[in-house]
Structure 1
Amino acid sequence: METLTFEYRGGRPLNTGPALSPPPSVLVGVVGSGNLEVLVEAAPLGGLCRIEIQTAAVGFGATWRAVMDDVFARHPLADVRISINDVGATPAVVGLRLDQALDAFAGGAQP
């Protein structure tokens, strides 16, 4: 197992008005071969978006960085913690699962 952590600045918090508040957390996916589980939580991180990854695929840090850079470019959020448990998902599956989780987390809220 390998643990990777990425942090991003410059994102926007989701609107926290009563009608548009995101849920406290969202969990999508499953921990299984070729798949991953993604937990997205609001967290007081001083404006950071922190992504913590536990992966069975050791040695792919540069690939993970590229996928996370792409995801943050599409979903520039602040004060959000994303936890990923991966069992060998491909980069395409990782991106799709993160889009699913972040769309569910945003709900009807607008960044």
Structure 2
Amino acid sequence: MNVLNFDFTSQPIADIKKEVICGVVGSGNLEVLVSPLADSDNGNSSKFIIDTSVTGFDHIWEAVLQDFSSRYAVGGLEFKVNDMGATPAVVSLRLSQAINILEEESHG
């Protein structure tokens, strides 16, 4: 397994206190776990920890995560991703789904 760590600057998300899980760990798919950052003083920072079965695609992960962090207000969140060879489109989809679930639960 290959573990990648990325930090990005992003707009802060509204006050989120719960955790969310989205997706499944399986061939060609991934699981996303989202939680508030332990360091709540840095609301403009987002952290991504990627546990992947695939090596050599660090630059692709960085590009997909940078794009995601630019499109969504994810400052103050930590994303743990358990990947089993998902394509960049699936990565973007699962991350977006996790944010949508988080926002729905915080407003519901």
TM-score bin, normalised by smaller chain:
0.7 to 0.9
Q: Which residue of 2 aligns with 1:78?
A: 75
- TM-score normalised by length of structure 1: 0.85
Unaligned runs of at least 5 residues, structure 1: 17-21
Tell me the C-alpha RMSD between the 2 structures.
1.7
**Could you tell me how far apart the structure 1 residues matched to 2:106 and 2:35 are?**
14
Describe the superposition over 1:36-59 as per-residue Cα deviations: whole angstroms up to 9, x where unpaired. 000011123322210100000101
- Note the C-alpha offset of 1:23: 5.2
Q: Give the share of equivalent positions with the same residue, in percent.
A: 38
**Could you tell me how far apart the structure 2 residues matched to 1:5 and 1:28 are?**
19
Q: Which residue of 2 aligns with 1:59?
A: 56
Q: Which residue of 1 aligns with 2:66?
A: 69
Aligned length: 104
- TM-score normalised by length of structure 2: 0.87
Q: Which residue of 1 aligns with 2:34?
A: 40
Unaligned runs of at least 5 residues, structure 2: none
Q: Which residue of 1 aligns with 2:46?
A: 49
